[in-house]
Amino acid sequence: MGIFNNAALARPEAHQQVPGTTMPKSPINTKKWWKYRNLRALNLWLLIPLLSIYAQGFDGSMMNGLQSVTNWQTYFGTPKGATLGIFNAANPIGGVIGTFLIAPVSDRWGRRVGLCFGAVLCCLGAALQGGATDIAMFVVSRGVIGCGSIIVAGCGAPYITEIAHPEQRSTATALFLTFYSVGSVTAGWCTFGTFRIDGSASWRIPSALQGLPSLIQIIFVWFVPESPRWLVSVGRNEEALAMLVKYHGEGDPQDPVVLFEYNEITNALEEEKEIARNTFIGSAKEFVSGAGNRKRVAVMVWAAICSQMSGNAFVSYYLSPILSSVGLTSDLQQTLINATSQMVSWFSALYFATLPAKVGRRTLFLWSITAMWIVVISITAGSAMFAQNNNNKAAGYAVVVFLYIFSPAYNLGWNGNLGLYIPEILPFHLRTKGLSFFYFVQLCFQILSTFAVPIGLENIHWRFYTIFVVWIMVEFVGVYLLFPETKGPSLEDIAYIFDGPPATKDYGNAEEKAVEEMKG
């Protein structure tokens, strides 16, 4: 699963829930946005930052596909166990480094520069990967790609939220999350199309193509309007207002939505200047002081563990050895299954992104864990039956079916639903720091998962799955006991769930003051 920056994942409607005010109705019919010249241009330019999460989706699917390509296996000496783990873990290791560069680059020089900087690293990594001459060069290139892709995603995500029309931010956020699967689908079919090529070009072409979306971003990001929030943060208020007037008001400086947005941005940033004076140590102490904040930390850590340790590394990075273990060994079979399973994952992610507001966050987490548990049990049983009798084709095919089902089971609770849940349980003044902590923990467990899985598969084969059968049951208990439901309440009421009425009032002060200033 990919890692996203906090600003994009915070609920776009949060600003509309400030007590005492509501977002005015736009004179523009955003449901028919294509009829408005500037809004149409803005939504089309949004495709550039939407590509930001594409690289992460491409990576996992490509590595799945390459492990099914005979020429790649031969060239690198058929890597297994710890060696194969290093191949895949290099990407999140680079990502850990990248998380420390997101804010300094994008906050100082702007979202466009930050996105371009990450994209340049992705292109450099893809060039090194496509031209790799040995294992060391390939591993280093993957670390560079991991660093760049995290920066691109971390800059691109808030960029979308900050420039999209306020009535379309929810849709834009949901689309951003689904582009991970778009990258997976593209990589799956790319490796399926090149595995027949005789020679190293069969794996060099998809390896180099990983940089194509980043190259597109480098060229066209300068045509995308800069974030008005960032412009205000560096004192370029007139440019920020001009951007809002042009793209959100179709050139009307008296558009009520534009005036509301501009006042909201300027007032909120004034409040954040006061909050930003807190030291890092002071913020860290605040996270461990008080029962409410300690519970938030526990929820974030458990969510990070569940999102990476539920067996999803099997499907994301190690589909090839699993398919080989049930008798599906040909390049054609494995690359085709990889490509088509990614399409199933994409379609499910699109639909499940609509469920959190209807069903509830906690409910989806529990349903998802239950579904994954059933799927992992089925994969384990089918693999065991095939290991006992290699002529039992039905058992092998059953494993394949449940491998297809695993991604939808995971996406049900741990894709878009997780992206909404973590930001909304954090109070206003701790949201950025809390999400940075969450991403760091998530990446650490991603490294552990991608490194440990191939070793387990090599040493104990299908029996390795039984670990996840037991562990997923533990995850269910943890979510059931720790995770409160957040469907329905405003951000202030969610703070009340954790801290009680006094904390709710404190956490709402920043936004309430902004409203009072606007009224005055």
Structure-token match 């987490």, residue found: 365
Single out the residue of 419, 373, 410, 346 nearest to residue 170, CA to CA. Answer: 419
Q: Which superfamily is assigned to 6-17+39-226+278-488 in CATH? A: MFS general substrate transporter like domains (1.20.1250.20)
- pLDDT one-digit tens code per residue, 277-294: 555 566 667 777 788 889
Helices H, strands E: what count in the chain?
A: 28, 0
Residue 377 pLDDT > 90 = yes
Other beta carbons within 10 angstroms of residue 212's beta carbon come to 18
- pLDDT one-digit tens code per residue, 84-136: 888 778 888 998 888 888 878 888 888 899 999 999 999 999 999 999 888 88
Single out the residue of 343, 366, 311 nearest to residue 481, CA to CA. Answer: 366
Predicted TM-score (pTM) of this structure: 0.73
Residue 141 pLDDT > 80 = yes
The predicted structure's pLDDT at residue 419: 73
- pLDDT one-digit tens code per residue, 163-220: 888 887 766 766 777 787 788 888 888 888 887 888 888 889 988 888 888 999 999 9
- pLDDT one-digit tens code per residue, 353-363: 778 878 888 99
- Provide the residue count of the chain: 520
Which residues are within 8 A (CB) of 258 and not within 5 positions of it... i.e. 6 or more apart?
Answer: 241, 244, 245, 248, 249, 252
Structure-token match 């991403």, residue found: 439
Residue 274 pLDDT > 80 = no
The predicted structure's pLDDT at residue 376: 94
**Through-space distance between the first and last CA atoms of the chain, rounded to whole angstroms:** 46
Which stretch of DSSP H or E encloses residue 274?
helix 256-275
DSSP state letter for 483? -
Is the distance from CB of 141 to CB of 125 less than 8 angstroms?
Answer: yes
Residue 18 pLDDT > 60 = no
Q: Which amino acid belongs to residue 268?
A: A
- pLDDT one-digit tens code per residue, 435-476: 778 878 888 898 888 888 888 888 888 898 999 999 999 999
- pLDDT one-digit tens code per residue, 247-265: 998 888 888 888 888 887 8
CA angle 226, 227, 228 (to 5 degrees): 110
Residue 11 pLDDT > 50 = no
What is the rounded distance in angstroms from the CA atom of residue 361 to the CA atom of residue 330?
A: 41
SS3 content of the chain, % helix, strand, coil (to 5): 80, 0, 20
Average pLDDT, the chain: 81
Which residues are within 8 A (CB) of 186 and not within 5 positions of it... i.e. 6 or more apart?
Answer: 54, 58, 61
pLDDT band at 490 (very low <50, low <70, confident <90, very high): low
Q: Which amino acid belongs to residue 481?
A: L
Which residues are within 8 A (CB) of 256 and not within 5 positions of it... i.e. 6 or more apart?
Answer: 24, 25, 26, 27
Residue 352 pLDDT > 50 = yes
Exposed, middle or buried: residue 470 (CB in 10 Å: 0-12, 13-18, 19+)? exposed
Domain ranges of the chain: 6-17+39-226+278-488
- CA within 13 Å, CB half, 52: 35
